[in-house]
Amino acid sequence: MSVVSNKIQVFEPHRASLPKLKPYFKEFWRRREFAIQLSKFSDKAEYLDSKLGKLWLVLNPLFLAVIYYLLISIIRGGESETDGITTLSHILIGLFTFYFAQNTILMGAQSITSGGRLILNQAFPRALLPLSSVISAWRQFVPTIPVYIAIVIAGKLLFPDSAMPGLNWNYLLVPLVFLPLAMTSFGLALIFATMNVYFRDTSKLLSYIMRIWLYASPVLWLPQMLTGTYQILLYLNPFGPALSANSRIWIDGSAPTASQFIAAYVWAVLTLIIGGYFFISRERDFAVRI
């Protein structure tokens, strides 16, 4: 007579605790190709049913920039042609850059809840999922840069008296400004991705939060409009220093200030440390929650 015993596997929530970080980051780096391929697959799936496809990546912020420019011009009571091309250029590069950060956060926030099957069936560092969102956002950002440069060159040719600078060596500093913005966006994506696992309304609220964040950032207004003690508002915004430095390069043709550089990298390090701890210490709990 044989006795059959049925084993029942019980999944319980884990206490928040960090794994051994050296093996984790080593595996994270070794599996980076997984994040790259996942971003490519996500991009194809997103634009599969769209006839214009990735053209919308340029058209959407371009149309919005024109609308915002018209609204701002009406509020200001009209602008001269030379001031107008500078304002439009600032709004364009600000929207293109802000959309990179926004897309990173919005896609990253949903990366864990939408990747349920991968999480349940595969063993890998879960931070690769938000990383794929950064890569996807970057791939969507790249096509906008040639369009922006073409518009700026055309504007300079049509309005030679405008304040827009010509090409100079300071433009080589753009990657050094974009890097902390990408790091900050990734850190925030880790935070919101974790929150979305526990509170599913997080992703829905984020669309409203990002819209308010856009208005609070130096995108629709110039950073130099804040003077004196009000400049602290730029540095309290995680995107403020990087966006201000970006505008200073593209619009003024000048190198970012030391305070902009320092603040941008301070925010990058802070968000990565806080977001990394918040995410990694809880990722073993994700399989139970989703």
Segment 68-109, tens digit of pLDDT = 877 777 666 655 555 667 778 888 889 999 999 999 999 999
- Kindly tell me if the per-residue pLDDT of 260 is higher than 60: yes
Model confidence pLDDT, tens digit, residues 109-128: 998 888 777 777 777 888 99
What is the Cα–Cα distance from 284 to 279, expressed in whole angstroms? 9
Residue from 10, 24, 17 nearest 284 by CA:
17
pLDDT of residue 221: 86
Structure tokens at 24: 């984790």
Mean pLDDT score across all residues of the chain: 82
Instruction: Note the pTM of the prediction, 2 decimals.
Output: 0.86
What contacts 194, CB < 8 A, 6 or more positions away? 112, 278, 279, 282, 283
| 7 three-class SS | coil
Task: Indicate the DSSP class of residue 11.
Answer: -
Q: Please state, in angstroms and rounded to a whole number, the distance separating the CA atoms of residues 46 and 57.
A: 12
Q: Mean pLDDT throughout 252-279?
A: 94
Which is more confidently placed, 166 or 134?
134
Contacts of 210 (CB under 8 A, 6+ apart): 102, 105, 106
User: What is the pLDDT, as a whole number, of residue 1?
Assistant: 47
| pLDDT given for residue 49 in this prediction | 52
Q: Which one is predicted more confidently, 118 or 276?
A: 276
> What proportion of the chain, given as a percentage, has pLDDT over 70?
81
pLDDT band at 271 (very low <50, low <70, confident <90, very high): very high
Query: In the predicted model, is pLDDT for residue 6 greater than 60?
Result: no
Cα(159)–Cα(171) distance, rounded to whole angstroms? 21
Question: Over 188-246, what HEC string results?
Answer: HHHHHHHHHHHCCCHHHHHHHHHHHHHHHCCCCCCHHHCCHHHHHHHHHCCCHHHHHHH
179-210 pLDDT, tens digit each = 999 999 999 999 999 999 888 888 889 989 99
Q: With contact defined as beta carbons under 8 Å apart, do 134 and 185 qualify?
A: yes
